[in-house]
Structure 1
């Protein structure tokens, strides 16, 4: 083992100051306040974790056939989830046809995973997305290839949440890029329009936009013209997310040194060539973490469509809990959908960290 180097002007630090115990002492017991907080957190964990494990697993009932049997166990009633999981996952989609939204969800998740793999970053990825979206539409709507037609009013659960989030991200991102470029434009009219749009949208909550799209928008349409409620909600989500993407990308554009623009001008590149080949790639690498935060928030915010009567994953869980025969198990239902949201959001977060590290943005720890 190599000898520890001796710093100039002194002896090497004692092992007690550089080992694992020293790091624990420095992070958890470095001051009286930190020591008190460490003891308090340890006490809370000691009191809550064993009780949670006992309720979630040890005393839980997985096979009960009635609500009374579940309540008698004194623990979590996972039999309720086994009984109602199809309603929670697929909403009121026809029971015998629920293999279709299941397959549509698998296709959507598969094409998203393919988009995350660098090997698929080729021109055929766009064609793959087109085929996937056509397949999802055929499976969900039906009416062709012998499939029963299902109105989108009967769509619900996880497939609907995935559709709203996927289309929201796919359309909000390019729209946000254009808005960010427009806000930095030298054309006063374009800049003013982009500023007004971004500040107006960011100044109101998503709930108000959903209400506007559901209640107010039909009043401004010509007589005889109507837009589907699901499409109106999707448009509101896209417009809302695009404003936040625009501000995030604008921050990345401002971080690019002026010399990059001057170097591109010296090579004779046009504005769009400079933007596409030099400026945007660097700006987007800088803002990967906040962009991913926006996408995660958008995925979770799709649950707000419940307020305009769209049967998303949250509404499906509320409907399952409302069953008189299984009333009283809302904790299990919301834990179930919380795990679903966590799996998707955590996967997005981990991928963003790996992408950030792969592109070497300089922001990873």
Structure 2
């Protein structure tokens, strides 16, 4: 061995000409050279693509005589906003319209996130309770509102609010608050707009500072000291707000501007439009369901020994909760909460569906009026990216300050003790319902509330309901319940859209093929890359051939004729089939050693993840044709699917990347030692293990993607939500909107709840195998 190391026959190796092997390693055939060439080719292709798209866009602008530049920002808009934080009128310029829309978005986001956080913490606490009835109530809340798309909830709340009495018959509370079909009118301080904004900023800063002082893990301050400091911060903010009020309030005028009925409408006060109110309710309710689950996972991570130690020290249950459990839970889940907050802020764009004048609606209206498509889309994306980046940076900074470090970190990876709803013994009954007098009172209160809701809903939905369309006249009776006769009359329209009635068997069979492929995918024996690929390729091909026709005597129908549930399933399946391989490619490139390509890929992923999906879909449907030649534009549906798939791929790529990082490094090293090429290492060794590790989050991502297919209704596609709106859209059934939206929500719930339960089953199975 020594002779070999020295060059053989005991003589030291003398540097000389390159051997053949060394020439291959350092010449054109070396791995380093190949990687450099690949990077240069890919980067050059990306640059050429960008130049080509820009050139096509400029040619389209010149051909259509469209204006360019940002001079339009100083022109008058000529239109008004239904709701604005700042004064705005038709004579105001575009830049002020954009500012008003941005402030509306920030107001909607701040109010919705605040309510969602408070409600989410309460529901998460209730669901984590060891009281069986309380835990059941929290579980029902989470499962219902988390598994119905936010857009469906928004449309339902909006219809309920617009069906309220007119202003002259408004519901009033003490002549200070009025609720009507024009929105909610609230008292407001008699102050200039700037002073009101300043007071809001000061109070928000005071609350944020108080929370910071309560949760910050610095200086070793005791809980009592933290509470005193937080109280001083709130008092300082309150004092500064009072000072601003005194300095700007005009003497002799009332302190409050109260709303009052004048003529046929309400005047004065501050009006929350029905559009904004519907958005706030939908965002807060939907977001609180997710935040509740995040908080529950935080409670599960708190070490049980800390709770027992606090009780041994004599702390009350309330003190233990507010000083031990809740702070530790928030510290544990702050990164996840940050992601949820960023997502909810992006979700404010759904206000477009009901006409709320948020930033996205203002941008889309400005595009229609001015024709400055690229400039306005660019402004929107840059502003939204900056907002999301600042929000994520802020919460990441907060997380860095409040997180526990070193020996302070005593978190548990276990679960809370299971609560039995149906006890099998007196001991379990007492433990689940009557652990203490407080637990007994909670059981009684929640039990009565659940019983009352079940009785009322059961009477309305089943006992007093009208089921047959022939009994439609009974729906208008005063004591009538749900009018399910609208479903009996319009179920074909809801499920199949405008697909010809005589051909709807094809749509039903195609949907059955896709659903069957999904069910077979859950069978462990099918968990093989080749089997899954063949299964979905066969199911999707069969669906497409049945829906399109044009063979074997089947009538040919284009995707424009599709609708209802079939279109929803087609979009979902297309997004997953295209997006999953793309996600694998993005994840592999981002973790590769080709640093420039990895950096570019990471930038693309992070940029797309920072933008709202609705804005990307709108761009694909409306803006992208300007940057493409006519032969490449294709159908609007396919452009939307491709952009939707890219959005899905960026999120799934991050899930895959986390799976790669969780694998032991020795797995890839062992495969390399066996001489396996890169493709075999990835396909046969790494990817199977990665997918096994990330099955639960992948299923959750599929659930989110299925719910987000409802967004395509905003750009004119006749999917199941749009067909539902059409079902009650005529004078015959316009009163039955509640039943139609509940039926649509039930369709989504059936799919998403099944997927989420399957994901929970996989998570439990994987956790059991690891133990």
**What range is the shorter-chain TM-score in?**
0.7 to 0.9
Map of 1:59 onto structure 2:
464
The residue number in structure 1 matching 2:551 is 144
Distance in 1 (alpha carbons) for counterparts of 2:438 and 2:675? 60
Cα-to-partner distance string for 1:221-254 (whole Å, 9 max, x where unaligned): 1145432111112112211111110111111111
Quote how far apart the aligned CAs of 1:117 are: 2.8
1:75 is matched with 481
CA shift, 1:98, in A, is 1.5
Mark the CA change 1:296 to 1:125 in structure 2 (over 3 Å): closer, same or farther.
Answer: closer
How many Å separate the matches in 2 of 1:251 and 1:121?
A: 20
Give the corresponding residue for 1:330. 737
2:645 aligned residue (232, 238, 250): 238
Map 1:1-80 → 2, pairs under 5 A: 20-27=425-432, 37-65=442-470, 67-72=472-477, 74-80=480-486
TM-score (norm 2): 0.42
Decide which of 253, 260, 279 is 2:660's aligned counterpart: 253
Higher mean C-alpha displacement, 48-57 vs 174-183 = 174-183
* Cα RMSD after superposing both structures: 2.6
Q: 1:117 aligns with which of 519, 523, 529?
A: 523
Shift of 1:24: 4.8
Residue pair 1:92, 1:155 contacting (<8 A) in 2 also: yes
User: Of residues 756, 763, 767 in structure 2, which corresponds to 1:349?
Assistant: 756
Quick check: which has more Rg, 1 or 2? 2
The DSSP-based 3-state class of the residue aligned with 1:132 is helix
**Does the 8 A contact of 1:241 with 1:298 survive in 2?**
yes
In 2, the alpha carbon distance for the partners of 1:364 and 1:296 equals 25
Higher RCO (CA-CA < 8 Å; seq separation 6+): 1
> Structure 2: which 5+ runs fail to align?
1-422
Question: CA 1:92–1:22 in structure 2 vs 1: closer, same or farther (change >3 Å)?
Answer: same
Cα distance between partner residues in 2 of 1:207 and 1:151: 24
Q: Distance in 1 between matches of 2:587 and 2:440?
A: 47
Which of 186, 190, 196 in structure 1 is aligned with 2:603? Answer: 196
Deviation string, structure 1 residues 280-312 (Cα, Å, up to 9, x no partner):
222222211111100011111100000110000
Give the 3 Å change call, closer, same or farther, for CA 84–219 of structure 1 in structure 2: same
Partner residue of 1:104 out of 503, 510, 514: 510
Q: Which moved more, 1:256-265 or 1:151-160?
A: 256-265
* Distance in 1 of aligned mates of 2:756 and 2:676: 36
- 1:125 deviates by 5.9
Aligned to 1:208: 615
How far has the Cα of 1:121 moved from its partner? 5.4
Task: Mark the CA change 1:253 to 1:121 in structure 2 (over 3 Å): closer, same or farther.
Answer: closer
Q: CA deviation at 1:129?
A: 4.0
**What is the deviation of 1:346?**
2.4
Mapped pair 1:93 → 2:487: no
The alignment covers a number of residue pairs equal to 347
After superposition, what is the alpha-carbon deviation per residue over 1:78-107, rounded to whole angstroms, capped at 9, x for unaligned?
111000000000111122222221121112
Q: Check conservation: 1:67, 1:326, Cα contact below 8 A.
A: no
CA drift at 1:22: 4.0
Matches within 5 A, 1:181-192: 181-192=588-599
CA gap 1:323/1:286 in 2 versus in 1, 3 angstroms: same
**Would the alpha carbon gap of residues 259 and 127 (structure 1) be closer, same or farther in structure 2, given more than 3 Å must change?**
closer
Displacement of 1:48: 0.9
Q: Which residue of 1 aligns with 2:562?
A: 155
CA distance in 2, matches of 1:355, 1:319: 38
User: CA separation of 1:225/1:276 partners in 2, compared to 1, >3 Å: closer, same or farther?
Assistant: closer
Partner of 1:292: 699
Partners of 1:167 and 1:203 lie apart in 2 by 23
Deviation at 1:183, TM superposition (A): 1.2
Cα distance in 2 between the residues matched to 1:118 and 1:332: 38
8 Å CA contact 2:469, 2:489 repeated in 1: no
Q: Distance in 2 between matches of 1:219 and 1:31?
A: 68
Contact kept in structure 1, 2:540 and 2:573, CA below 8 Å: no
Q: What SS does the corresponding residue of 1:171 show, helix, strand or coil?
A: helix
Normalised by the length of structure 1, the TM-score is 0.86
Q: Does structure 1 conserve the Cα–Cα contact (< 8 Å) formed by 2:469 and 2:488?
A: no
1:319 deviation in Å? 0.6
More moved, 135-144 vs 151-160: 135-144
More displaced 10-residue stretch of structure 1: 42-51 or 203-212: 42-51
Instruction: Supply the distance in 1 between the matched residues of 2:679 and 2:538 (Cα, whole angstroms).
Output: 30
Is the Cα–Cα contact under 8 Å of residues 201 and 243 in structure 1 kept in the other structure? yes
Cα distance change of structure 1 residues 223 and 130 upon mapping to structure 2, 3 Å threshold: closer
For residues 20 and 174 of structure 1, do their structure 2 counterparts lie closer, same or farther at Cα, with a shift above 3 Å needed? farther
Deviation (angstroms), 1:124: 6.2
108, 132, 139: which is aligned to 2:539? 132
**Could you tell me how far 1:29 is from its partner in structure 2?**
5.2
Unpaired runs of at least 5, structure 1: 1-17
Looking at structure 2, the residues matched to 41 and 107 of structure 1 have their Cα atoms a distance apart, in angstroms, of 43
Q: Which residue number in structure 1 is paired with residue 678 of structure 2?
A: 271
